[in-house]
Structure 1
Amino acid sequence: MDLAAEAGLRVRELREARGMSLSELARRSGVGKGTLSELESGRRNPTLETLYALTTALKVPLSTALQGLPSPAEISGEAVDAVLVERFEADDSVTETYRIRIRSGATQESAAHSPGTTEHLVVLAGIARVGGLGDPVLIGPGQHGSWAADVPHVYQASEGAVEALLIVRHPR
C-alpha cells in the first residue's frame, strides 16, 4: 500500500475506534467531508496540515496516524516537509521527533494542538522564525527554541531553506 492508502486507512481506524462519524470528524477538524472521504479511501494524498487537523480533532499525536507507514514516512505541507524519526511513549506523554525542512520564503501558521503540547526546534542549517504567532523568535544553526504548541504558532524561513529537528511533546 502507498502513503495515501495507508494514512487514509489509519485515519479511518482511529475515527471508528472513537465511534465518530465521517461527518463529525469533518466538522471537528474543519476538513471537508469530501476531502476526508477521499483521504480515508486512499484516493487523496494527505497534507501535513490536513493530518494535523484530523489528529488534533481525534485527540491523538500526528505520529499515531503515521505509525506503520512505509519508512521513512514523509509528509509535506504548504511550507514544511517532515519525516517522523522517532516516537517515544512514556506513562505521562508521547514525544515525537521529526526531521523537518521549512522551504525558503515559506510561512506555515499551525493551529493549536491539544492542551499542554510543547514544541522544541533545533536548527541544523538556515534561520527559522518560529513560535507563538504573537512572539516568534529567530533561531539559527546550532540554536534551539521552545514554545507552547497549544496555541496557534508559526514556522517561517525567510532567507533560504531551514533544516531542523522538531520535537513535539504531547501530554497524555
Structure 2
Amino acid sequence: MLDDDLAPRVGARLRSLRSERGLSLGALAADAGIGKGSLSEIERGVRSPNLSTLYALANALDLPLAWLLDEQPGAEVSSPGIETRLLGTTGSADDAVEVYTLRLTPDEAHRSPAHGPRTVEHLVVTRGTARVGREGEQREVSTGEHHSWLSDVEHTYEAVGGPCEAVLVIRQTGGA
C-alpha cells in the first residue's frame, strides 16, 4: 500500500495520463487487469493501491513505476511479502533507471508481472538471502551477492530462511 500522502498524487497522475492518451476508465482498467471501480477509487485518491496494482497500471501505460510514484525519493509501497522504498530515478519515461530498497519477509513470495521487453533488474542483497528472478529461473542470492535478469516475464522475490534486505536497480530502455 502507498502512504496516505502519496495516494492522491498517484491518482491524479493516472487520471491525467489516461485523459491525455484518450483512454477510458474501463479501457485502462482492462489493460491493467483490475476492476473499473478500483481504478476510479485510485484516481480519486480514496483507495491506496498495493505494489502489484501499481505495477499492473505502470505496465499497461508502458511507464516506469517511479513515474506513478511521482518520482518522490522516499516513496514507499508494499504488497504481501515485499516493502519497497524509492531511492531515486534518472532518465526519462522511456529510458529510465529506478533505484529502490527492498525488504522481503519470509513465507510470502511476491510475484511481479512482466515489464517491458527491454527492462532489466539488478538486485544486490544487503542482508539475508533472497530467491529472485524470472519464473522458473529463480536464483538464491545471499548477502553481498548480485543477480540480474530480463524482467519481460513474471518474476519473483522471496526471502529465504528469514527477512532479507536488498537494493534493486531497474533499467527500462526505449527503442526496438
Please report the TM-score for the alignment, with normalisation by the length of structure 2: 0.92
**AA matched with 1:47:** N
**AA matched with 1:145:** H
Aligned length: 171
Residue matched to 1:129: 131
- Measure how far apart 1:159 and its partner are: 1.1
| Matches for 1:53-72 after TM superposition, within 5 Å | 53-67=56-70, 69=72, 71-72=73-74
Question: Equivalent residue of 2:109, what SS?
Answer: strand
The ranges of structure 1 where at least 4 consecutive aligned residues each deviate by more than 3 angstroms after the TM superposition are none
2:42 is the alignment partner of 1:33: no
- Deviations 1:53-111 (Å, cap 9, x if unpaired)? 00100010001111255x52101112211111010106972110001111122101111
CA distance 1:92–1:38, change in 2 (3 Å): closer
Identity of aligned residues (%): 43
The question of whether the paired residues in 1 share the 8 Å contact of 2:111 and 2:156 is answered with yes
2:14 is the alignment partner of 1:11: yes
**AA matched with 1:103:** T
Give ranges in structure 2 of 5+ residues lacking alignment. Answer: none
- Partners of 1:124 and 1:22 in 2: CA distance: 40
- Measure how far apart 1:158 and its partner are: 2.8
- Partners of 1:160 and 1:91 in 2: CA distance: 35
Give ranges in structure 1 of 5+ residues lacking alignment. Answer: none
Superposed CA RMSD in Å reads 1.6
The question of whether the paired residues in 2 share the 8 Å contact of 1:7 and 1:46 is answered with no
The question of whether the paired residues in 2 share the 8 Å contact of 1:106 and 1:158 is answered with no
CA distance 1:41–1:150, change in 2 (3 Å): same
Question: Equivalent residue of 1:106, what SS?
Answer: coil
Please report the TM-score for the alignment, with normalisation by the length of structure 1: 0.94
- Partners of 2:144 and 2:88 in 1: CA distance: 21
| Matches for 1:78-117 after TM superposition, within 5 Å | 78-89=80-91, 93-117=95-119
Question: Equivalent residue of 2:133, what SS?
Answer: strand
**AA matched with 1:99:** T
